[in-house]
Amino acid sequence: MKTHDFYYELPPELIAQTPLEKRDASRLLTLDKDTGAWGHRRFHDLPSLLRAGDCLIMNDSRVLPARLLGSRVRADGTLGGACEVLLLIDRGDNVWECLVRPGKKLRTGAKVSFGEAGKLTAEVVGEVEGGNRLVRFSYAGIFLEVLERLGRMPLPPYIKAELQDRERYQTVYSRVSGSAAAPTAGLHFTKELLEEVQAMGVNIGYVTLHVGLGTFRPVKEEEITDHDMHSEYCVIPQETAELINRTRAAGGRVICVGTTSCRTVESWADEDGRMEAKAGWTNIFIYPGYRFKVMDALITNFHLPESTLIMLVSALAGRERVLAAYEEAVRERYRFFSFGDAMFITGGIDKNAEKTKNLEKSTVSGDGC
């Protein structure tokens, strides 16, 4: 299967640059993975598509303000040119694997100062394959608190606008710091919406997958099977494993919120779909032909053309159906990518798809997005 098989045309103006004022006001395109039928809703309509006994599996990872702007330190201790360090992976002992700019100036031995003199400094102590640097940080106090003061949100490269409220690039249920990018399907949920679905008998379980910048890395190989998938650290707690097992045994649906939750549960499930508590690194690459062991349905955003994420979605619903739904989203002027609108992909969810499509046109045309 070719990478170009997952290409679609996207007008640049449909790439959402800022979040909506209300998280759950985003649009929701429903896609029946069995028939290809679609419908148009709002995200706050999600409870009408859920059933008592379903479970939502959510990624509770929290984005680090991992983008640090500083100055290079000369041999005489004075400050030189500007530089940027982006934290990727905590390697322990205050050493992080990082992306750095300018790369030619930040070789092993280079030193950097951030913010007020002496509050946070760093030294490049090594280089790894692919060009990333190993950087050792020195600071006073607690590192995460220092990052909160000095760091900036590492927004995806296609977002050019400044983020006014950094919490809008966090889910309302985020709690475990470690991601370099948000698990964006969860950005649509409000605390009130979560309470509503729980009140109707939908259970919620949490996993943790720390999203790396590899999620934005393009697939450069012509054959998708030649792509070297990036690795990310993930955790399935015991209570979540037990919830998934109970849900499946009772005939409920396991609905993953985001591709990161999907990759986590599918990485650690037994062949029969049974879950146990586990933690470790995963480089699972899901593309058409994959047999899902646990996930029945997926809540997700719209993904970049030719990306591993649109390949994952296509594994669930079929490439032709997914691309047809994306073409519909473009026609209807949906908002795309991290701050954009959402999809709900499952079977038999919207028998009145054409009716809801027409209703959406009559009530929310001129969305302003």
Instruction: Express each pLDDT in 150-175 by its tens digit.
Output: 999 999 989 998 898 999 999 999 99
Residues 158, 170, 258, 233, CA torsion sign: positive
State yes or no: pLDDT of 213 exceeds 90.
no
In total, the chain counts a number of residues equal to 369
334, 340 Cβ separation under 8 angstroms: yes
Per-residue pLDDT tens digits for 101-111: 999 999 999 99
pLDDT score of 214: 78
Whether the pLDDT of residue 117 is over 90: the answer is: no
Element of type H or E holding 247: helix 238-249
The arithmetic mean of pLDDT across residues 130-140, rounded, is 93
pLDDT the model gives residue 217: 80
Element (H, E) at 357: helix 353-364
Would you state the pLDDT for residue 349? Answer: 57
Q: What is the arithmetic mean of pLDDT over 122-150?
A: 93
For the cut 50, the answer to whether the pLDDT of residue 243 exceeds it is: yes
Q: Mean of the pLDDT values across residues 119-139?
A: 93
- 283: tokens are 């480089």
Whole-angstrom distance, CA of residue 65 vs CA of residue 70: 14
CA distances from 54 to 139, 297, 354 (A): 46, 10, 26
* 312-343: pLDDT as tens digits: 999 999 999 999 999 999 999 999 999 999 99
Model confidence at 353: pLDDT above 70: no
The tokens describing 123, both together, are 């030294």
The position carrying tokens 């859920």 is 50
Higher pLDDT among residues 213 and 350, named by residue: 213
Cβ atoms 309, 12 nearer than 8 A: no
Q: Per-residue pLDDT for 359 more than 80?
A: no
Residues paired with residue 30 on neighbouring β-strands, in sequence order: 39, 344
DSSP symbol at 272: T
| pTM value surpassing 0.75 | yes
Q: How confident is the model at residue 215 (pLDDT cuts 50, 70, 90)?
A: confident
Percentage of the residues of the chain whose pLDDT score is greater than 70? 93
Q: pLDDT tens-digit profile of 248-284?
A: 999 999 999 999 999 999 999 999 999 999 999 999 9
Tell whether the torsion through CA atoms of 67, 71, 74 and 78 is positive or negative: negative
- Cα–chain center distance at 294: 19
> pLDDT of 15-74, one tens digit each?
999 999 999 999 999 999 999 999 999 999 999 999 999 999 999 999 999 999 999 999
Mean pLDDT value across the chain: 92
Per the CB < 8 A criterion, the answer to whether 257 and 28 are in contact is no
